[in-house]
Amino acid sequence: METKKNSLLIIDDESSNLKVLTHILGSDYTIYTATNGIDAIKKTKEFLPDLILLDILMPGMDGYKILLEIKKIEEVNKIPVIFITGLDSAEGEEKGLSLGAVDYITKPFSPTVVKLRIQNQIQIVTQMRIIEKLSMLDPLTGLPNRRSFDERLKMEWKQAVREQTKISMLMMDLDKFKNINDDYGHQQGDVVLQTASRLFSQIIRRPGDFVARWGGEEFVVLLPNTSLEGAAEIAENIRLKVENTMVERSDAPGFYITISIGVNSIIPTQDSSIDSFISDADKRLYIAKDSGRNKVVYQS
C-alpha cells in the first residue's frame, strides 16, 4: 500500500521560484501553489497543507501580512510556515519568527538545504500529531477520551448553531460497576469496559456520530443531525446489546451487565449553553439509575 505523501503549499509571485521548488520537492511531496495573498489563504483553507513555504516580498499582500491572516483562522493557524526570501536581514528574520514562522529558506535555493529544512519541519509535524492523537485517546478502551469529546462537541455545536439543526447526546453509565470490581477484581472490570466499548463502536457507525469514554464507567455518544426520538432509539439499541452480551472470563463462566442511559437533544442557538446541554443529559441518566437502572430516559 502506497504511503500518502505530505503536502506543501508554496506561495510566491515569481513562477521561476515555484518551478525550482516544485522540481526540488515534487517527487517527495504533494505540491500546491499560490501567487498572491487572497489565493494563498483560499488554498490554505481548501487543501490544509502540512507545511507552507511563503515568500516575503510580494505585490499587494506581502508574506508578513499573509502569515498574520493565516494565524487568525482557527482551522489552519497551527500549520507551520517557512519563509522563503532573498533578503539577508536579521531584523526581517526576527520579525518573521516573532509573527510565528518556524524557519527561513534563503534564495538562491540550495536543493540539499531546502530538502533538509522541509524534512525537519515535516518530522516535527508528524511527531506532534502522534502526541496529540495519543492525548485524545483512552488507553484502556481505545475510544476517544473526554478531551477529544469536548473538542468534537464544540465543533458540532458551532455547526448546529449555524445551520439550525438538531444535535443529540447520550450519557451512559454501566450499572453496579463497583460491585463488578469488588466481586471479580479490577482486571475483570477492565474487561467489562473493553467489552462495552466494542459494543458501542459496533452500533455507533454513522458518519459524524462519535462515542467516547467520559471517565470511569461512564461513556458518552454525540449524535449530530439527530432528533430526540432518533437518539432514544439508538440508546435503546445500545441498552439491549449490552444486556444480551456475555462478558467473558478466562477461568470461570461469564456474566451479564446492564447500562443506564440519559438522552438529550436540542437545536442550539447563540444563547444556548453546552454545559446545560450536557447537564440535562446527565440528569436524565441519574433518573434512569434512580428508577431501577437498565433504562433509557429521554424526558425529565
| Residues annotated catalytic, as ranges | 217
Cell of 113: 538545504
Q: Of 279, 163, 179, 178, whose CA–CA distance to 224 is shortest?
A: 163
CA dist., res. 220 & res. 215, Å (int) = 9
- Residue appearing with cell numbers 493557524: 77
**DSSP states of 160-198 as a string?**
HHHHT--EEEEEEEETTHHHHHHHH-HHHHHHHHHHHHH
Cell of 90: 536579521
The answer to whether the beta carbons of residues 55 and 17 sit under 8 Å apart is yes
Burial class (CB in 10 A: 0-12, 13-18, 19+), 59: exposed
Query: If DSSP codes are grouped into helix, strand and coil, which group holds residue 212?
Result: strand
User: Does 108 sit behind a cis peptide bond, omega within 30 degrees of 0 on the bond before it?
Assistant: yes
DSSP symbol at 109:
P
Query: If DSSP codes are grouped into helix, strand and coil, which group holds residue 100?
Result: coil
